[in-house]
Amino acid sequence: MLDGDDAESSQTDGRTGRVNECTSTERADVAALRERPGADVLVIGGGINGIAVFRELALQGVDVALVERGDFVSGASSASSHMVHGGIRYLENGELRLVREAVQERNRLTRNAPHYVKPLLTTIPIFSTFSGVLTAPFRLLVTHGRGKPRERGALLIKIGLMLYDTFSRGGGRIPRHRFHGRTRSLRDLPRLTPSIKYTASYFDASMHSPERLALDVLSDGVAAGGDRARAANYVSAVGAVPDGIRLRDEVTGAEFDFAARLVINATGPWTDLTNEALGAPTSFLGGTKGSHIVLDHPELLDATGGREIFFEHSDGRIVLIYPVKGRVLVGTTDIDADPREPSRCTDEEVDYFFDLIGHVFPAIRVDRSQIVYTFSGIRPLPRHDDTAPGFVSRDYRIERGRIGRAPLLSLVGGKWTTFRALGEHLADEALALLGAERIASTRATPIGGGAGFPSGRASRRIWIARHGRGHDPELVSALLDRYGTSAAEVLRALPSVPTDSRDLPGYSDEELAWLAAQERVVHLDDLLLRRTSLAFTGGLTRAGLEGAAAAIAPVLGWSAERCGHEVSRTAELLRREHRVILGESGIAPLT
């Protein structure tokens, strides 16, 4: 488990991840690395932070390469709560710098990636008035996060939100928080428990397609750098050699050496394992597991009123109930975890989620039959010894070292909201080591399909009419929501009447084929879990998997045998990693 996200490398042989080593054709992305085996910077790890620094360096004209041992954004970065937030709870930890940076980056993302990041009203149910006023400062200043947390009451939350407003308002564009008593709160959200005393509401932002946002960042970097910006998934860093790094194509098993003036380790919770494999052992990380469940539950979805319900559970853990893609996302846990072990949502965590739903919506019943997807990942947190996981800093830092003659920069920490600022910071460190200067800023640079994204109803109608190319306006509108203005490229590849994809509502065979051809799809699960939200929203069947494999087989050169392997592999991955039983309700047992 060396570089980046935690998708296992298991491919069709179920262990090594290789597909018929003797006959597999080398992918173009791998050939580009092998035929010119060197760059100024090699980034190891294709989660959001590795991708962010890759784009930053490509925009500065640096010769940069990125490798990821699984699929892009397939591990820690894929386990996001789908939120872009300033982190109001970090105020209690005294992390003012992180809060300030996070709210600035949140506001930037609503402008630079409006196709995926949108303002979201967030409501906190509050059950007491004064609780935590004395214990919260004591935990911050004296015990430093050790000991059992106390419930945060209205006064403490009010103070926190007043501070948050000073960081968060974005020049007055973001409304101030609002406090309401029980009567008004229950009028706005009538399914809330009557035991609340108050609610507090403020604006953060939703990120409804994290993986697609990351792929846009990656594509922007590749486009900016041309042949000086190369990226390949399913390529591992397996060791160090005198002049660089030994790389392995996880599809064919072929290995080759790659020279770099500078190596950046952006492998998240696997940072120490990567450094150990490269002969530079470290002990920077002490990550925690966070799990989520996705429910198909119309009653609970309606009860949220379109808001995120963000609150403190009875154990002091901050949790959320969040409407997204017509489903309800519930999370998250915060449990010490070993990155060598698989990260999966357990039965105990499911029970915990049901309990927290009952804490705020006691009249709404939930059961396992309503779960359509589960996911879990390890946060790349710094070592924290006996500090409570929820009190561990979510900030990031950069550690310096060496691999042979090359400097090594290891990223410790980081979170989705601050990926651009983190990438900027890491790139500036790299530029300094290379003796180069920054020539472009990304602070106001649109991301992917966010460029020219129509912001109002009138401009949206104009965009749809201008780019419809004879397609049904409803299809054009759906693709605009799915890809932003990059939908224009997809539409050019579709016939006027696309072929509805068998057992995959909302998608056509031609759209799936376009994704496979354009977005570095190697395996069927890359398509279903990260290029689309088909797995996340539930309802997949074996017939649906077979239809998707048939749709992309021509562009990927898959035989009937390979399609069968991919369908079986994906069905097993969904069962084992996400507890999905194809065509059935409920969740699979852990094995």
Q: What percent of the chain has pLDDT over 90?
A: 75
Q: What mean pLDDT value characterizes the chain?
A: 89
Distance of CA 224 to the CA centre of its chain: 23
364-393 tens-digit pLDDT: 999 999 999 999 999 988 876 555 655 566
Span 286-300, mean pLDDT? 94
Written as one string, the DSSP assignment of 164-217 is HHHHHSTTTTSPPPEEEEHHHHHHHSTTS-TT--EEEEEEEEEES-HHHHHHHH
Best CA proximity match to 43, nearest among 298, 261, 288:
261
Q: Is pLDDT above 80 for 20?
A: no
Q: The domain 454-578 is classified under which CATH number: 1.25.40.420, 3.40.710.10, 1.10.8.870, 3.55.50.30?
A: 1.10.8.870
Q: Is pLDDT above 80 for 119?
A: yes
471-499 tens-digit pLDDT: 999 999 999 999 999 999 999 999 999 99
Q: Is pLDDT above 60 for 144?
A: no
126-138 tens-digit pLDDT: 988 745 443 444 3
Q: What percent of the chain has pLDDT over 70?
A: 89
pTM here is 0.92
Which amino acid, one-letter code, is at 405?
Answer: R
> Are the C-beta atoms of residues 296 and 374 closer than 8 Å to each other?
no
Percent helix, strand, coil in the chain, to 5, is: 40, 20, 40
Q: Report the CATH fold assignment for 28-77+211-284+395-434.
A: FAD/NAD(P)-binding domain (3.50.50)
Look up tokens 């009203």; give the residue.
121
- State the SS3 of 138-176: HHHHHHCCCCCCCCCCHHHHHHHHHHHHHHHCCCCCCCC
Q: Is the dihedral of CA 95, 97, 102, 104 positive or negative?
A: positive
Distance of CA 299 to the CA centre of its chain: 27
260-271 tens-digit pLDDT: 999 999 999 999
d(CA 101, CA 422): 10
For residue 289, the cross-strand partners are: 335, 378
For residue 83, the cross-strand partners are: 206
Non-local CB neighbours of 432 within 8 Å, separated by 6+ positions = none
55-95 tens-digit pLDDT: 999 999 999 999 999 999 998 999 999 999 887 777 766 77
Look up tokens 């949220």; give the residue.
304
Q: Is pLDDT above 50 for 6?
A: no
Q: Is pLDDT above 50 for 139?
A: no
Span 512-539, mean pLDDT? 97
97-114 tens-digit pLDDT: 888 899 999 999 999 999
How many Cβ atoms sit within 10 Å of the Cβ of residue 309?
Answer: 26
**Phi-psi region for residue 555, left (φ > 0), alpha (ψ -120 to 50) or beta?**
alpha
> Are the C-beta atoms of residues 68 and 45 closer than 8 Å to each other?
yes
For residue 124, the cross-strand partners are: 200
Check residue 152 and give its pLDDT.
65
Span 324-336, mean pLDDT? 93
d(CA 213, CA 527): 15
45-58 tens-digit pLDDT: 999 999 999 999 99
Residue ranges of domains in the chain: 28-77+211-284+395-434, 98-206+287-391, 454-578
| CATH superfamily of the domain spanning 98-206+287-391 | D-Amino Acid Oxidase, subunit A, domain 2 (3.30.9.10)
Q: Is pLDDT above 60 for 523?
A: yes
Check residue 156 and give its pLDDT.
79
435-478 tens-digit pLDDT: 999 999 999 999 999 999 998 999 999 999 999 989 999 999 99
Q: Is pLDDT above 60 for 146?
A: no
Span 338-354, mean pLDDT? 94
Residue 286 class from Cβ within 10 Å (0-12 exposed, 13-18 middle, 19+ buried)? buried
233-285 tens-digit pLDDT: 999 999 999 889 999 999 999 999 999 999 999 999 999 999 999 999 999 98
183-197 tens-digit pLDDT: 999 999 999 999 999
Check residue 87 and give its pLDDT.
77
Asked if omega into 332 is within 30° of 0 (cis), the reply is yes
Check residue 94 and give its pLDDT.
72
DSSP letter at 370 equals G
> Are the C-beta atoms of residues 118 and 205 closer than 8 Å to each other?
yes
User: Per mean pLDDT, which range of 113-127, 144-158, 538-552 is the poorest?
Assistant: 144-158
Check residue 169 and give its pLDDT.
67
Non-local CB neighbours of 522 within 8 Å, separated by 6+ positions = 27, 71, 233, 234, 251
Token pair in block for residue 508: 């056509």
Give Dmax (Cα) for the chain. 70
Check residue 21 and give its pLDDT.
37
Check residue 312 and give its pLDDT.
81
pLDDT tier at 25, thresholds 50, 70, 90: confident
Q: What stretches of 227-317 adopt beta strand conformation (E)?
A: 229-233, 235-241, 244-249, 255-265, 288-295, 308-312
Which amino acid, one-letter code, is at 322?
Answer: Y
Span 506-535, mean pLDDT? 98
d(CA 267, CA 244): 17
